[in-house]
A and B are shown apart, each in its own frame.
Chain A
Amino acid sequence: MRNIVKNNDYPGYVLQCNEELILDSGKIIKDFKIAYQTYGSLNKEKNNSILICHALTGDQFPAEKNPITKKSGWWDLMIGPGKTIDTNKYFVICSNVLGGCVGTTGPNDINPENNKIYGIDFPTITIQDMVKLQKILVDELKIDKLLSVIGGSMGAMQVLQWAATYPNSVRSAISIAGALKHSAQNIAFDEAGRQSIMLDPNWKNGNYLNEKTKPENGLSVARMIAHITYLSDAAFQQKFGRNLQEKKDLSFGFDIDFQVESYLRYQGKSFVDRFDPNSYLYMTRAMDYFDVSNQLIENKKTIVSNKIRFLVLSFTSDWLFPTKESRSIVSLLNSVGSPVSSAEVVSDRGHDSFLLDVPQQFKIIRGFLEGIKI
Chain B
Amino acid sequence: MRNDYKIIFDLIPSNSKVLDIGCSSGELLSLLNQKENIQTQGVEINQEKVVKCLENGLDVVQGDINQILEDFPHNQFDYCLLTKTIQTVNQPDKLLQLLKKVGKNIIISFDNSNYYKRVIEFAFKGSFDKLLQKSNKEQWFNSPNIHPCSIKDFTILAKQLGFNIIESFDVKNNRRFKFPKTPSNIFCKEVLFSLNT
Which single residue of chain A is at the shortest CB-CB distance from B54? A367
| A309 proximity list for chain B (CB < 8 A) | 59
| B58 proximity list for chain A (CB < 8 A) | 341, 371
Out of A331, A337, A343, name the residue touching B71 (CB < 8 Å). Answer: A331
**A contact residues, total (Cβ < 8 Å):** 25
| B60 proximity list for chain A (CB < 8 A) | 341
Stretch from B39-47, B159-167, B176-184, B188-196 contacting the other chain: B39-47
Say whether A364 faces chain B, with CB atoms less than 8 Å apart: yes
Map CB proximity to B onto A337-369 as digits: 1 under 8 Å, 0 otherwise.
101111111000000000000001001100110
| A372, B41: Cβ atoms closer than 8 Å | no
| B62 proximity list for chain A (CB < 8 A) | 342-344
| B57 proximity list for chain A (CB < 8 A) | 371-373
Interface residue SS majority, chain A: mixed
Say whether B127 faces chain A, with CB atoms less than 8 Å apart: no
Out of B47, B54, B72, name the residue touching A360 (CB < 8 Å). Answer: B47
| B61 proximity list for chain A (CB < 8 A) | 330, 340-342
Given contacts A337-B76, A339-B59, A371-B57, whether A330 and B71 have CB atoms under 8 Å apart is yes
Say whether B51 faces chain A, with CB atoms less than 8 Å apart: yes
Which single residue of chain B is at the shortest CB-CB distance from A332? B73
Which single residue of chain B is at the shortest CB-CB distance from A328? B71
Shortest A365–chain B CB gap in Å is 9
Say whether B80 faces chain A, with CB atoms less than 8 Å apart: no
List residues of A (297-311) whose CB comes within 8 Å of B's CBs.
Answer: 309-311
Say whether B13 faces chain A, with CB atoms less than 8 Å apart: no
Say whether A335 faces chain B, with CB atoms less than 8 Å apart: yes
Say whether B36 faces chain A, with CB atoms less than 8 Å apart: no
Which single residue of chain B is at the shortest CB-CB distance from A372? B57
| A45 proximity list for chain B (CB < 8 A) | none
Q: CB within 8 Å of B: which residues of A? A: 309-311, 327, 330-331, 334-335, 337, 339-345, 360, 363-364, 367-368, 370-373
Other than the given A364-B51, A367-B51, 8 more pairs (CB < 8 A) read A334-B41, A335-B73, A335-B76, A339-B40, A342-B63, A367-B52, A368-B54, A371-B58
